[in-house]
Structure 1
């Protein structure tokens, strides 16, 4: 059984565009997954890469065209200039981390559903995922204790920081980024999910 470390940012438009396809592929192949949300803007700084707002104008134009093409291809509604982007993704990420730990301790809930609801809040609904009300609503809708947004804050902050260090140390440079730890096979981007599916099928 393969294991996948899934590095992602809740601020990532391309992670939003991936939707729930990754979770479906992992389930199809019986792969286990470790969700590892990380601070992508700090990662760009650490790697010496420009943040989206600081990129050359030509790259900004191309990014916008790509978003529109991929959104149309995926049939996903999308705000191409969301009202709360970039926002502080840390509180929402802490909730994801706390939810994952709760599942490991016997709780019930839909972890990928939580991630999708937070991404949708940014990229469809013009809502701020730094707002505790948005986070608790997403937790409750995903079957988790909404108080995880508070009780999991300390552990979430520690793990969120560690996830960034892990991402940098293993060579992650964008989101979504999937690493099959058994073979160190890497896939970057929602447009590589078909390749990930095929690779897992070959194991």
Structure 2
């Protein structure tokens, strides 16, 4: 059985635009997904990337156009300038890790609900009540927002180190065996790879 290591960021618009397509591909091929929330901004600093605020205007303008095109193509609601971005993505990541450890819900849905909260629902995923609502919607105990914070912080930090060691430089980033795929627009390539066609 194949395993997909999915490095994602709770604040990434591209992780939001990934929707549940990865989960659909994994189910199609009987693959498992190992979710690894990490601090993508810290990864930028260590892998040659540039935070949005420091990018040349040509890059920020292109990003704005491309995000809106991708959202339209995918039929997903999208707000290019959400009310609560940037914010602290760590609390939502810690809650995700607590849910991952506890089980009982749908991790793919949780990842989607968290990112949707930022990019479509105008919610601040640094706030406990928003995190609890995300957990509940994905079938997890909302009290997980208040538990395992130390373990969540440690796992989040380990995920960053693993990401850098394994050549991850953005989000979403997927690793299948020795193959790396960057971006929500590469999910179709993962599908082909798992089918033995790529």
TM-score for the superposition, normalised by structure 1? 0.94
Q: What is the match of residue 31 of structure 1?
A: 31
Q: What is the match of residue 128 of structure 1?
A: 124
Query: C-alpha displacement at 1:168, in angstroms?
Result: 0.5
2:49–2:169: 8 Å Cα contact kept in structure 1?
Answer: no
Output the CA distance in 2 between the equivalents of 1:112 and 1:4. 13
Output the CA distance in 1 between the equivalents of 2:179 and 2:109. 26
Give 5+ residue unaligned stretches, structure 1.
none
Partner secondary structure for residue 147 of structure 1: helix
Output the CA distance in 1 between the equivalents of 2:87 and 2:48. 21
1:82-113 C-alpha deviation (Å, 9 max, x unpaired): 1111111000001111111112xxxx211111
Q: What is the match of residue 138 of structure 2?
A: 142
The reply on whether 1:190 has 2:184 as its aligned counterpart is yes
Q: What is the match of residue 86 of structure 1?
A: 86
Query: C-alpha displacement at 1:42, in angstroms?
Result: 1.2
Matched residue count:
197
Output the CA distance in 1 between the equivalents of 2:100 and 2:116. 19
Query: C-alpha displacement at 1:43, in angstroms?
Result: 1.2
Give 5+ residue unaligned stretches, structure 2.
none
Partner secondary structure for residue 70 of structure 2: helix
TM-score for the superposition, normalised by structure 2? 0.96
Output the CA distance in 1 between the equivalents of 2:58 and 2:137. 40
Output the CA distance in 2 between the equivalents of 1:46 and 1:86. 20
Output the CA distance in 1 between the equivalents of 2:49 and 2:111. 26
1:152-175 C-alpha deviation (Å, 9 max, x unpaired): 211111000000000001110111
Query: C-alpha displacement at 1:120, in angstroms?
Result: 0.8
Query: C-alpha displacement at 1:45, in angstroms?
Result: 1.7
Runs of 4+ in 1 over 6 A off after TM superposition: none
Query: C-alpha displacement at 1:195, in angstroms?
Result: 0.8
